[in-house]
């Protein structure tokens, strides 16, 4: 059998498990064989791991209108470097992505760029102002995979409930930034012992759990009028133990709710803010270790469905402001996989296949996309990574325009070396000859 690329003696790991070594033949945009074959390009991959390409359900790529922070080319290039083949862009841009024309424009430009694939999210409400619903059907037909007012908190319960009902009719998931604005107030970090000691305004854990509880009640209400659906409400960047408990109970009841957690909420705590460094300022805020450990357990057991980066780039000048004035957000598309592989798998024994699942099948299931498994005939959207390669995080080498990181200098393992989208090499650090 003839193909285009042959990965020889590569270890196969997808969300179902570790399948040992194989000779993987790629051609016609798919996996042709797991038993070798002929190809003009051969990669000697002993010691390397091949996995399905990662999928990010939550990234801020800032285009249109905020290209000084990030644009589609820099963001999707950063994603490909991080092993991502699929990325969902948030609509809180300038102008807001709330029309079919805006969705199509993003999709077409991303196709021309030819890096990671873009799946635009569209605003749940017009202008993300929380008052009037956007046109769910037209947005879905234009290519939107999600409706969300992320960045804002859907204060009008009736609008969100109606939005859930309409989204269910058109097979869309509604993602919510689960924070109560009245409880959050002007908090710049978690409200607790550290914020009290530092004299900084806090954002209590109850701001999240109160809103998760309300949104789950709205989901129950919407389901009385909507058809049975496998997925409908998605909780973004879950950060607290209590919020997780509410999601876990809802799943036990069979409600169509999913949840994500970010790399920063799994690896950093509010203690980092003692440095007064705004690189750690994020919304929802970093929480105490007890919350972090609860989130790890939720990720392991499956109450948390997936990893969402919440990649949120800003300019260096913005992030250099003090903690009260600096914007919320951490860029992490390029480090998410090596960070969690190192901190969870290597250091804590987290099951590798489970972590791969949360980067691949989990987010694709949230979005209603078909899974990608390592089997003959499957789409060749893949990442080749090296579990033994260790190097420090160097923000100055990022493809993202946001060249700062809370993990700068951390020595991480498992860096992606090659990313393919439907058989096409979009990133290759380990084998640059494959790009030509």
The CATH number of the domain where 19 resides is what?
Answer: 2.30.40.10
- Inside any domain, residue 397: yes
Does the structure show a pLDDT above 80 at 432?
A: no
Q: What is the DSSP letter of 341?
A: I
- SS3 readout for 64-115: CCCCCCCCHHHHHHHHHHCCEEEEEECCCCCCCCCCHHHHHHHHHHHHHHCC
Do 308 and 411 fall into the same domain?
Answer: no
Q: What is the DSSP letter of 224?
A: T
Strands (E), 90-232: 117-122, 146-148, 173-176, 189-190, 202-203
Do 215 and 112 fall into the same domain?
Answer: yes
- Which residues contact residue 179 at a Cβ distance below 8 angstroms, ignoring those fewer than 6 apart? 153, 203, 207, 208, 211, 283, 284
Looking at the structure of the chain, the number of domains it has is: 2
> Of 101-115, 123-137, 206-220, 421-435, which gets the smallest average pLDDT?
421-435
pLDDT tens profile 244-291: 999 999 999 999 999 999 999 999 999 999 999 999 999 999 999 999
* HSE toward the beta carbon, residue 308, CA cutoff 13 A: 30
Do 46 and 60 fall into the same domain?
Answer: no
pLDDT tens profile 173-219: 999 999 999 999 999 999 999 999 999 999 999 999 999 999 999 99
pLDDT tens profile 106-126: 999 999 999 999 999 999 999
What pLDDT was estimated at residue 435?
64
- CA pair distance 361, 366, nearest whole angstrom: 9
- Inside any domain, residue 240: yes
Do 211 and 228 fall into the same domain?
Answer: yes
- Inside any domain, residue 44: yes
Boundary of a domain, candidates 314, 337, 367: 367
Distances (CA, A) of 133 to 95, 158, 162, 380: 16, 11, 8, 38
Beta carbons of 137 and 163 less than 8 angstroms apart: no
Boundary of a domain, candidates 344, 367, 390: 367
Residues with a catalytic annotation lie at: 310
Q: In this prediction, what percent of the chain has a pLDDT beyond 70?
A: 100
Do 349 and 385 fall into the same domain?
Answer: no
Averaged confidence pLDDT in the chain: 96
Do 122 and 239 fall into the same domain?
Answer: yes
Does the structure show a pLDDT above 80 at 436?
A: no
What pLDDT was estimated at residue 151?
86
Do 361 and 416 fall into the same domain?
Answer: no
Boundary of a domain, candidates 346, 367, 388: 367
Do 68 and 97 fall into the same domain?
Answer: yes
Q: In this prediction, what percent of the chain has a pLDDT beyond 90?
A: 96
Do 29 and 140 fall into the same domain?
Answer: no
Average pLDDT over residues 67-89: 98
Do 120 and 221 fall into the same domain?
Answer: yes
Question: Which of 67-77 are b and which e, b meaning 16 or more Cβ less than 10 Å from the residue's Cβ?
Answer: bebbbbbbbbb
What pLDDT was estimated at residue 228?
85
Average pLDDT over residues 57-65: 98
- Inside any domain, residue 388: yes
Beta carbons of 21 and 52 less than 8 angstroms apart: no
Beta carbons of 200 and 188 less than 8 angstroms apart: yes
pLDDT band at 75 (very low <50, low <70, confident <90, very high): very high
- Inside any domain, residue 18: yes
pTM of the model: 0.97
- CA pair distance 256, 149, nearest whole angstrom: 19
Identify any residues that bridge with 126 across adjacent strands, giving them in sequence order: none
Do 135 and 280 fall into the same domain?
Answer: yes
Omega prior to 95 cis, within 30 of 0: yes
Cα 140 → chain centroid: 20
Omega prior to 284 cis, within 30 of 0: yes
pLDDT tens profile 142-177: 999 999 999 899 999 999 999 999 999 999 999 999
Least Cα distance to 312 among 100, 116, 93, 132 occurs for 93
Least Cα distance to 305 among 222, 248, 372, 381 occurs for 248
Q: Which domain holds residue 95?
A: 53-367
pLDDT band at 434 (very low <50, low <70, confident <90, very high): confident
Do 36 and 119 fall into the same domain?
Answer: no
Could you give the 3-state DSSP secondary structure of residue 36? coil
Beta carbons of 416 and 385 less than 8 angstroms apart: yes
- Inside any domain, residue 178: yes
- CA pair distance 60, 313, nearest whole angstrom: 7
Beta carbons of 146 and 134 less than 8 angstroms apart: no
- Inside any domain, residue 362: yes
First to last CA, the chain: 22
What pLDDT was estimated at residue 430?
72
Beta carbons of 305 and 358 less than 8 angstroms apart: yes
- Inside any domain, residue 372: no
Q: What is the CATH number of the domain that holds 178?
A: 3.20.20.140
% helix, strand, coil for the chain, step of 5 = 35, 25, 40
């Amino acid at each position: 059998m003839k193909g285009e690329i042959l990965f020889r003696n590569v270890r196969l790991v997808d969300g179902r498990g570790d399948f040992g070594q194989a000779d993987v033949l790629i051609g016609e945009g798919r996996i042709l064989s797991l038993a070798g074959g002929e190809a003009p390009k051969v990669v000697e991959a002993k010691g390397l791991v091949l996995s399905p390409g990662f999928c990010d359900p939550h990234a801020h790529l800032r285009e249109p209108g905020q290209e000084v922070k990030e644009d589609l080319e820099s963001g999707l290039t950063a994603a490909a470097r991080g092993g991502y083949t699929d990325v969902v862009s948030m609509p809180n841009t300038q102008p807001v992505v709330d029309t079919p024309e805006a969705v199509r424009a993003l999709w077409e430009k991303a196709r021309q760029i030819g890096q990671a694939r873009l799946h635009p999210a569209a605003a749940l409400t017009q202008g993300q102002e929380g008052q009037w619903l956007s046109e769910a059907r037209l947005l879905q037909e234009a290519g939107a995979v999600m409706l969300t007012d992320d960045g804002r908190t859907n204060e009008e319960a009736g609008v969100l409930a109606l939005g859930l009902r309409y989204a269910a009719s058109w097979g869309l998931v509604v993602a919510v930034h689960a924070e109560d604005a009245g409880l959050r107030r002007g908090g710049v970090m978690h409200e607790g012992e550290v914020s009290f000691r530092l004299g900084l305004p806090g954002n209590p854990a109850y701001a999240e759990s109160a809103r998760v509880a309300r949104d789950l009640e709205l989901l129950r209400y919407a389901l009385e009028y909507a058809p049975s659906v496998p997925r409908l409400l998605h909780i973004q960047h879950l950060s607290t133990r209590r919020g997780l408990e509410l999601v876990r109970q809802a799943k036990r009841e069979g409600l169509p709710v999913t949840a994500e957690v970010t790399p920063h909420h799994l690896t950093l705590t509010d203690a980092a803010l003692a440095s007064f460094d705004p690189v750690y300022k994020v919304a929802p805020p970093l929480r105490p270790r007890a919350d972090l450990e609860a989130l790890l357990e939720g990720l392991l057991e499956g109450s948390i469905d997936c990893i969402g980066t919440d990649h949120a780039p800003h300019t260096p000048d913005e992030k250099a402001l003090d903690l009260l004035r600096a914007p919320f957000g951490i860029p992490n598309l390029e480090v998410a996989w090596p960070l969690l592989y190192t901190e969870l798998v290597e250091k804590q024994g987290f099951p590798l296949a489970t972590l791969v699942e949360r980067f691949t099948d989990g987010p694709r299931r949230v979005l209603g996309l078909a899974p990608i498994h390592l089997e003959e005939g499957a789409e060749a959207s893949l990442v080749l990574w090296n579990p033994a390669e260790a190097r420090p995080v160097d923000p100055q080498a990022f493809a993202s325009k946001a060249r700062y990181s809370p993990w700068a200098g951390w020595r991480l393992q498992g860096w992606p070396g090659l990313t393919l989208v439907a058989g096409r090499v979009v990133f290759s650090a380990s084998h640059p000859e494959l790009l030509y």
